[in-house]
Each structure stands twice: as C-alpha cells, then as structure tokens.
Structure 1
Amino acid sequence: MELTLSPTIKKIERKSLVSPKGFTATGIHCGLKHKKKDLALVISDVPASVAGVFTTNAIQAAPLKVTKDVVYTTGKMQAILVNSGNANACTGKQGELDALAMQQLASDQFDIAPNLIGVASTGVIGEPLPMAPIIHGVAKLAPNNELTGALDFAQAIMTTDTIMKTTSYATTIDGKEIVIAGVAKGSGMIEPNMATMLGFITTDAAIESADLQAALASITDKTFNSITVDGDTSTNDMVLVLANGLAGNQTLNPAHPEWQTFIDALQMVAQDLAKMIAKDGEGATKLIEVKVSGAISEQEARIVAKSVVGSPLVKTAVFGCDANWGRIIAAVGYSGATINPDTITIKLGDILVVENSEPVKFSEEQAMNYLKQHEINISVDLNNGPGQGLAWGCDLTYDYVQINASYRS
C-alpha cells in the first residue's frame, strides 16, 4: 500500500540528487538536442554500493547492457553518465562500442575506473548515437554539490517530460542522519517492468550492494512497477541506487534494528518518482490512482489495479469525465486475478457506483464534477481476501496521439 510520512522520516524541501553527503551532479547542452540540456553526470566522492532494476523487454539498448555489467559484475559504481535525445538502442555493434566509449570518456575525464561507471541513454530508438557532441560535452562537465547542479541533471535527462521529477527524504539510523534522494525521467512508453523511464537514487547510507539490491527489489513492485501510461515497455529503462556510506551509520542489512526505516524511506522516494511519472504521462491532464482491496494477495491486488489504470477505455472515460464504471469492472474481470464476479464494489472518489457487482443509483452530475479534478481515485473492493494494492496512471488524451505521431519529426 501507499506509504505516508512517519515521525521518523521527513521530506526535504530543497529536494536534490546531491542532498546526500558526497554526491555532485551537473547537466549541460552538448548538441544532441537543438537547444535543451542533453548530457548529465552524477558522481559519488567514493565508490558506492549499487543496485539496479532493468527493463524486461527482450530487446535491450547498448548502454543498459554496459550498466548491467557494472551492477552485476563489479557491484560498485561511482559515476553515471546520461544522455537524452538518442536512445542508442537497436544500433548494432557500433551502438555497443559507443556505449563503452561513453564509459571510457567519463573514466578519462574524471579519473574513475571504467568498471565503476554506469551509462544511460534515452530518446529516439534506431538512430546511431552522434559521438562528437558527447566527446566535446564530457570535457565540459563540471559536477558540483549545489542545487543548481542537481536541477541541471534533472533537466538534461528529460525527453517528452513536461516537469522535472525530483524528491528527497531524511531519516535517522544509528543516530546518524541518512538522506535518500532521487530523480527520474519518464512520460510516455510507460509500462514497467520497467518503462521508458530512467531513475537515479542517491543515498549516503552504509549498506552492502547485495542488501541494497534486496531493498530495491522489495519496493519496486509497489512503486515503479505499479505505474502505466500507455502499455508499452521500452528498451532502455533502469533504476539505479548508489549508496556511498558517508553518513557513517552501521552497515545496514535485514538484521539491523532500523532496516525497515531505511526500506520505508527508500520506498517514499521511489513512490514519489513513480507518481510523478504517471502524472506527467504524455498529454495527460489527470493522475489516476486505483486502490484495490479484498484480493487474495497483495500481488493480485496490484494486478487488478494495473489492469484498471492501464485500460484505454477507463483512461478515455476519465479524460471525458464519464462515470462509465462498466469499463472498470470489465478491466477487473480480464485482469487474470482470482475474483468472485458477484462481490465487487467500486467507488469513484467517495461516490459508490457498484455494490456487490450490482449498479447503485448515483448522481451523474456529481460524478462528472468529481472526474473534472486533476487527481482521480478509483476504489475497487473485491471482497475476496486480505490483499491490498495500488497502481497509478493517467488519462488518455488527444495530445498523447499528437505527441507520439510526430515524435521523430
């Protein structure tokens, strides 16, 4: 279920990728895009434990392969170099050489071993990556620990995003302040496991890579894998977490008495980023949250929630402010989850529209007015078990078609 702030976790107002100790970042325009920033870098002062989750698309872009090798072979990472404007995906052997060249460029420029550098790319698929702008751009990168550097990073990784997506939280572990911060991009082609999204999370907590991987895995299904915009799974997408240990806490692991505090703070960061991605879906005007209860398990609750929020017919009904609950119950039925078709209850906000799978009289005008809001909550109670789950998405608009019809031109 969705986490809310607890007394032990506080949100940082000047939210920034460099809020944790020992991180610097920057972003510049190097020439991959016409005017906007398109090259970004984040560096830890020391090699950090790293964890990653990656797209489930069988076709995976060259930079993703390079970065997976660092995560799974080295287990440490000190820098991440990111470009937008070109995905370097489906670019053959040359694409792999270019991804490795990006890694080497950052290594040479910042005196960091290549196997401690992750690379990521986002943008158009199937076009060769222009290396000349990247070569010149890397030489100009000057990461810093100021808010401006972090915001430049956030801008430089955007493609069709309309807003920057950043968040930070602080908590106390072993009497030491621990900060966890994140930045993401993602607007369309969103159907994680993963989606056309990049997410980068930094923390100064001390934790070994294997335990950090377990922590990230434990919250991914509840956050990044619980959003959908359009049902497409991309080729480049990843979430990386770097933990450099500079906060000075005792090394975290599942036996640590404050392990759950760390998990909750990490989930808060991931949850914020996931919801911002869903809300910023291409052409979107509304964030849709679907809350499912009464499922036989949490996993099945999330399956139902994603089925509803991912339904094009539900999404268009929300866009049109049409309280067409038949589309919702249909999406529940084809979700593949175990349901009792006679016990389903549905609400739009606080408006009861279906009870035990039978229609309830409600005010169409009241429902229409509710659906005009920018954040819509749909509740589905299956009355079939203890499982609860959430998913987030957005409405489907005319602008989504326009944006994607002309994406390459």
Structure 2
Amino acid sequence: MADWQEIPGGITAPKGYRAAGMAAGLKPSGLPDLALIVSDVEAIAAGVFTTNQVRAACVDYCRQRLQAKSSARAILCNAGQANAATGTQGWEDALDSAQSLSQLLHVPPESILLASTGVIGQRIKLDKLKAALPQMIAALSETGSEAAARAIMTTDLVPKAIALETVLHDRPVRIGGIAKGSGMIHPNMATMLAFVTCDAAVSPHLWQQMLSRAADRSFNQITVDGDTSTNDSLFALANGESRTPAITEPGTEADKLEAMLTEVCIYLAKAIARDGEGATCLLEVQVSGAVDDESARRVARTIAGSSLVKSAIFGRDPNWGRIAGAAGRAGVSFDQNDLQIGLGPFLMMQNGQPQPFDRAAANAYLKQAAEGAYLREDTVLITVSIGHGHGSGTAWGCDLSYDYVKINAEYTT
C-alpha cells in the first residue's frame, strides 16, 4: 500500500505556492497562453531538460541559471511560440521576460525560471507578454493550479495535474504537479513541460538526484511519435514550508519523498501519453527478465515507440509478431527462446513459441480498451519477458491514428 494519498489542488496543493493562468493574446485562438507559478519563499530548484541540440532560448537560460544557483522563486511559461531556433533575438527575449517579471515580483532575475511551448521558429510576442504580467501577478492564487494547467496547453485535449500527500516527522508533506504534452513526445525528454512543487526541505544536490531518477522512470519512458522536442523542461521546486526537518542525506525519509515524487511524475507522464495527438488509448509496456532495469526500460521504450506496434493497436489487430520484432531490435541481448509476450489477459508467446489464443477476443480487448470499457479502462497492456534476470521496466505510449497525421499536417496553418 502506498505511503501517500491523492489530494486536490494540483501545483498549489503544497504550502507556500500560488499560480495563475490567463489569455495574454499570444495564441491566435485567444485561448489561455500564459502561466505563472510562484513560491512565497526562495525554493530549492532542480531541472531536467531536452537533449536536442536545437534548444529553445528558455532551455539554455534555465540550464545556466540552475548551474549557477540551485534555487528559484517563480516559473513563467508561455504557450503559442516556442522561441526555439530564434537566434540571438530569442535569447534577448528570454532575458527581457525574466527581467520584467523579476522587477514586478521584487526578486532577482536569477530567481525566475522560464518555459515556452508552441511553434518552433517563432519568437515570443514579448509586448503582449509583458503587458499581461501585472494582471497575472494580481491573479496569483492558492487555487490557481487549474488555470495554470490550462494556460500551458497547446494541442493537449485536457489539462494534466496531480497532488499527493504523505507524512514525514509527523507533519504533512505535499507534492503537486502540472504538465503539458501531446505531440513531439519521445524520451530524452519527450516533448513536454512539467512543473512540480514540494513543501519539504531538501538539499539541492539530493533534490536534483531525486528528480533525475524520477524523470528516468517516467517522462523518459513515454513516447507518442518518436520526435524529441526543442523545449522539453521539467522543473521541481522544494520550499520547506511544511516545516519538516531538512532532508540532506539518503535514508528512509529521502526514499519516501523520492517515491512520492516519482509517483507524481509517472502520473503526469502517463497523462501525456494518454493524451497523445489523435490517440484513442494508452499503451503500457511492462518488460521483465532483463539483466538490469535500464535494459528492460530500453526494450519497453522500443516497443512502445514502434510505429508498427502502435498502428496495429489502432487497427485493433493483436499482431504480436510486431511486438517480438520491436523487442529484438532494442539493442538488448537476449535469447529468443526465452521470449514471452502477453497482450492483456492473452498469452501469445512462451519460451519463444507461439501460443494459441482467441483472436476474436483479443480484438475485442483492443476495441474495448479504446472505448475505456475494459478491465484497465483505456489502457492496452503488453507484457514481455526476455529472460531470467531481475531487471524490469515500464514504458507508456499510445496508438497511432489517422488523426495524428491530420493534426500535424496542419500545425502551423
């Protein structure tokens, strides 16, 4: 049984955080497009970023900031323009937006973290962003999580938020988070933004380690379309407002906090995969029997990212051969005579040998999963064993539908 419980409040559930979201005129649609998250006090900050060599100005800005100073007061996120591949002017726009917000919040510019999402090659509409900041600050609220979650959306169909609570040293400790992502989703880091808040006190080095490990088990295990974005950023703030003793070393309390942090990240990662552009169901791939966890995670990612597997799932075709093929090309050595494959409740291969199964029932399983009506709601479960090792890992993705092409064929038009 988990050592935490889900609570309402999202990003503002932890003590000492406020958030807001509004339409600043950055999107042509007029939908909300600017979000702000503020900690009442300086918070320990950690980050994980895209590995793409073409990076948005905000990514380089935040990497530099966190290398120089592992704390922050605010996260400002705009939607509509990615401010990636915008050259020196895009960099100046990032600096200008941070400076403008810092003056209004009366905090150093170094305490501002930035994130952007939208069309690559387009600069932020800086005049509109700066004009909206006073109203945004006035709207900051302890109930502002929903507004902030909606303001960071692009092609997302639904906002994504979660908050969990546990007890450390007889006091409640909370972690909340919001995320966006629907297309350009692939590990390292996937096309996504995620912001996490915590009211525990944690040393900077330990907090960064926790976040990096949580990312490896969550956001780096999701894929929608195989494209890694220019803007992917994951931020986590820990402000100590729970008034619990500071966690400075590995141990029971650190493990408990990291487990809850990982659970928040997994929830948000699955929400992104579930909301994949054009998707009709969530795909969960569980791999076991590997020599180590990283090998298992690699096989799981490869299967979840296979266009052939994803297309078969969309076509409600229980074509387990595509799963076997994807497992075999993952770059992980195993004996094919040890291979076992399951689709939901159906065993399709065991000890490298095909197994008889009810194809009509398996087809119905896929159809019902797409309708959210089967045992695991909208989730198609694929289980794979590749040997007798202790390594295991899970990845999440979605099916590949006609609508994915339609959405992305018209993205800038």
TM-score class, shorter:
over 0.9
Q: Aligned equivalents of 2:244 and 2:125: distance in 1? A: 43
Q: 1:369 to 1:15 in 2, by over 3 A?
A: farther
Q: 1:57-206 alignment to 2 at 5 Å? A: 57-141=52-136, 142-147=138-143, 149-206=144-201
Residue by residue, what CA displacement relative to the aligned partner does 1:46-92 show, whole Å, maximum 9, x if unpaired? 11000000001011110111111221111110001110000000000
Q: CA deviation at 1:350?
A: 1.3
Amino acid in structure 2 at the alignment position of 1:18: T
1:312-338 C-alpha deviation (Å, 9 max, x unpaired): 000010001001011000000100012
1:214 aligned residue (206, 209, 215): 209
Q: Give 2:12's aligned residue.
A: 18
Match of 1:405 in 2: 409
**TM-score, normalised by the number of residues in structure 1:** 0.97
Q: State the Cα distance separating 1:253 from its structure 2 match.
A: 2.9
- Aligned equivalents of 1:400, 1:201: Cα separation in 2: 29
Q: Report 1:282-297 matches (<5 A).
A: 282-297=277-292
2:47 counterpart letter in structure 1: G
Structure 1 runs not aligned, ≥5 long: none
Task: Name 2:273's counterpart in structure 1.
Answer: 278
d(CA) in 2 for partners of 1:29, 1:151: 14
Pick the aligned partner of 2:399 from 379, 395, 400: 395
The answer on whether the counterparts of 2:102 and 2:109 sit within 8 Å (CA) in structure 1 is: yes
Q: Which moved more, 1:49-58 or 1:254-263?
A: 254-263
Maintained 8 Å contact 1:42/1:143: no
Corresponding residue SS for 2:336:
coil
In the alignment, residue 180 of structure 1 is paired with which amino acid?
Answer: I
Distance 2:273 2:200 in 1: 28
Give the equivalent residue in structure 1 for 2:358. 363
Counterpart among 318, 325, 329 of residue 313 in structure 2: 318
Q: Partner residue of 2:385?
A: 381
Matched residues in 2 for 1:145 and 1:192: separation? 33
- SS across alignment from 1:161: coil
CA distance in 1, matches of 2:169, 2:78: 38
**What's the TM-score, normalizing by structure 2?**
0.96
3-state secondary structure, aligned to 1:202: strand
Question: What are the equivalent positions in structure 2 for 1:4-15 lying under 5 Å apart?
Answer: 6=2, 8-12=3-7, 14-15=8-9
Are the aligned partners of 2:9 and 2:145 in contact in 1 as well (CA < 8 Å)? no
User: Which amino acid counterpart does residue 348 of structure 1 have in structure 2?
Assistant: L
CA shift, 1:303, in A, is: 0.4
Distance 1:131 1:145 in 2: 24
Alignment of 1:219-258 (within 5 A): 219-258=214-253
Distance in 2 (CA, whole Å) between partners of 1:361 and 1:292 is 21
Asked if 1:36 corresponds to 2:31, the answer is yes
Find runs of 4+ consecutive structure 1 residues off by over 2 angstroms: 142-147, 253-257
CA deviation after TM superposition for structure 1 residue 143, in Å: 4.1
Distance 1:384 1:146 in 2: 50
* Mapped partners of 1:345, 1:378: distance in 2: 11
Query: What secondary structure sits across from 1:277 in the alignment?
Result: helix
Contact 1:295 1:387 in 2 (8 A): yes
Kindly indicate whether the alpha-carbon contact (under 8 Å) linking 1:283 and 1:403 is maintained by their aligned counterparts in 2: yes
Contact kept, 8 Å, 1:166 with 1:184, in 2: the verdict is yes
Q: CA deviation at 1:139?
A: 2.2
For 2:216 and 2:332, how far apart are their aligned partners in 1?
Answer: 16
The alignment partner of 1:221 has SS state of: helix
Q: Bigger CA drift: 128-137 or 249-258?
A: 249-258
Alignment-mate amino acid for residue 141 of structure 2: N
For residues 46 and 393 of structure 2, the distance between their equivalents in structure 1, rounded to whole angstroms, comes to 25
The alignment-based identity, stated in percent, is 44
Tell whether the 8 Å contact from 1:339 to 1:384 is kept in structure 2 after alignment.
Answer: no
Matches of 1:383 and 1:403, distance apart in 2: 40
What's the CA shift for 1:196? Answer: 1.5
Q: Distance in 2 between matches of 1:245 and 1:386?
A: 37
Aligned-CA RMSD value: 1.0
| AA aligned opposite 1:28 | M
Structure 1 residue 150: deviation in Å? Answer: 1.1
| Aligned residue number for residue 372 of structure 2 | none
Deviation at 1:144?
A: 3.0
Change (3 A) 1:224 1:133: same
User: Is residue 17–residue 142 contact of structure 2 (8 Å, CA) maintained in 1?
Assistant: no
- CA offsets 1:108-150 (integer angstroms, 9 cap, x no match): 1111110000011000001222211111111211243332x11
In structure 1, what is the Cα distance between the partners aligned to 2:224 and 2:320?
20
> Where does residue 375 of structure 2 map in the other structure?
none
Equivalent residue of 1:258, what SS?
helix
Q: Deviations over 1:19-39 (max 9, x none)?
A: 100000001101011210001
